[in-house]
Amino acid sequence: MAENRSICVYCGSQAGNDPVFEAAAVTLGRSIAENDIRLIYGGGTHGIMGAVAGAVISGNGLVTGIIPEFLKSREAGNGKKLSFDELIVTRDMHERKHTMFEKSGAFVALPGGIGTLEEIIEIMTWSQLGRHKRPMVLANIAGFWDPLLELLNHMGTTGFLHSAHLAEPLVVSDASEIVPLIVRQWESGSTGAGDREVIDRM
């Protein structure tokens, strides 16, 4: 079993225009709380970010929000508050992303925009380079990530994926299956957050 039972969720600061996205975030958040896993996320209170964190909090679960100073000021003015038990304020986006990485035993991308895409792709890049072996899950709600999967396939067929097996995310279309899948991966011992020495050298 991995020592670090925390799941980092990358997701949209917007809600998107289909209610299934927010519903999936709530399902994932509940499941994280029920399984005594800590949510690590970007600290936003709106959109899919607010939905997933709100669901963990409603389920009496643990939440760490990690937010850069400039976004915290923006969040302070939006009138919505979430009482998560740990808030880490970072100097900038780079420090935020590295802190999220260090604290997490697995990574999930729910639907989101450019920020979400950048965050999960970075984690896949580090996996491809052998910097970690932790589970990475694309929550393919209503086929949201199909275009990315198509692009990855295209990169493979055109000869640009040098270590595709290392970068390959797990793809799950039902949000209730995400946590059980990650827990199975942790328990199998094939992946996990026990690779701290790798983090230090990155």
Report the nearest approach of ligand AMP to the CB of residue 87 (Å): 11
Question: Is residue 75 near ligand AMP by the rule CB under 6 A?
Answer: yes
| 74 binding ligand AMP? (CB under 6 A) | yes
Among the listed residues 7, 10, 183, 185, the single contact to ligand AMP using CB under 6 A: 10
Provide the minimum distance between the beta carbon of 152 and ligand AMP in the complex, in angstroms, as a whole number.
18
* Residue 59 binds ligand AMP, judged by CB under 6 A: no
CA separation for the pair 156, 159 (Å, rounded): 5
x/- mask, ligand AMP, residues 157-186, rule CB under 6 A, reads ------------------------------
6 lies in the binding site for ligand AMP (CB under 6 A): no
Q: Which two tokens stand for residue 158?
A: 């055109």
Q: List all residues 6 or more positions away from 167 whose beta carbon is below 8 Å from its beta carbon.
A: 124, 125, 127, 128, 152, 161
Question: 77: which DSSP letter?
Answer: T
In sequence order, the β-bridge partners of residue 106 are 7
Please report how close the Cβ of residue 175 comes to ligand AMP at its closest, in angstroms: 17
| Residue 107 interacting with ligand AMP (CB under 6 A) | no
Exposure b/e, 78-113, CB count within 10 A at least 16 = b: eeeebebeeebebeebeebbebbbbbbbbbbbbbbe
| Smaller CB separation from ligand AMP, 70 or 160 | 70
